[in-house]
Every structure is written in structure tokens, then in C-alpha cells.
Amino acid sequence: MSDADRRDTDYRQGAAVTVGSEEELRALLRGPFDFGCRPVIERVDGGGLRVEVIATASQLDELRRVGYGVVVQPEPAQRAVVGDGDRFAGGAVPRGFGTKGPQR
């Protein structure tokens, strides 16, 4: 099952793409991918090159189809709810450092 089958194909996600040569890297850099502020290229064992990209699931599937190595970054974990109270109840604005639990 491809990444595109699991989610909306317009969803953009991060991935590490490994290519075998500088020519393949140049072709990848000319593609419709987001490399952040600037591409960060690393040499990997065996003479390959790796670059981080941001692309849609269908674009990542296409990179796999043409033979590039693609490792999708895991989804960030959902953050826990910090509290369930209303700190501003009644219009009061909290001040100071506050306290944690019962004082000893």
C-alpha cells in the first residue's frame, strides 16, 4: 500500500530521499519539491546522497517508482491537554509564579 492510499494526496509530509549519483540529485533538485530554506545534502554509505524533502504522498510514491529510496518521517505525536480549568474565569488575569499542588 502506498502513502497516497493511506491519506489525502495533497497532504505534504517530510521524507529523506536517497539517490545514487550527483546526476540523480540534480534531477531531484529541479523537481517540484520543497527543500526548506535550502537543500541539505548528506553523503551516505555506498556513495549515495540523501536530502530532506517535503512533498505530497503521491510525489513520494513517484520517487519510489523511479527507484529512489524514500523514508517518510513519522507523524508528530498529538500533544496532551495541559489543563481543564479556565485560568481567566471571571475576567481575572493570573499573576506571579503560581503554585504546584499542596505546599509542604
Q: List the grid coordinates of 53.
A: 524533502
- The larger pLDDT score, comparing residue 25 to residue 80, is at 25
* Residue 37 pLDDT: 87
Where in the chain are the domains? 3-72
Residue 104 predicted with pLDDT over 70: no
Contact predicate 72/36, CB 8 Å: no
At 4, the pLDDT band (50, 70, 90 cuts) reads very low
* Residue 55 pLDDT: 93
46-99 pLDDT, tens digit per residue, is 889 999 999 999 999 999 999 999 999 887 676 666 777 777 777 777 677 766
- What's the topology of domain 3-72? Alpha-Beta Plaits (3.30.70)
Rounded CA-CA distance 44/60 in Å is 20
28-42 pLDDT, tens digit per residue, is 999 889 998 889 999
* Residue 2 pLDDT: 52
* Residue 12 pLDDT: 86
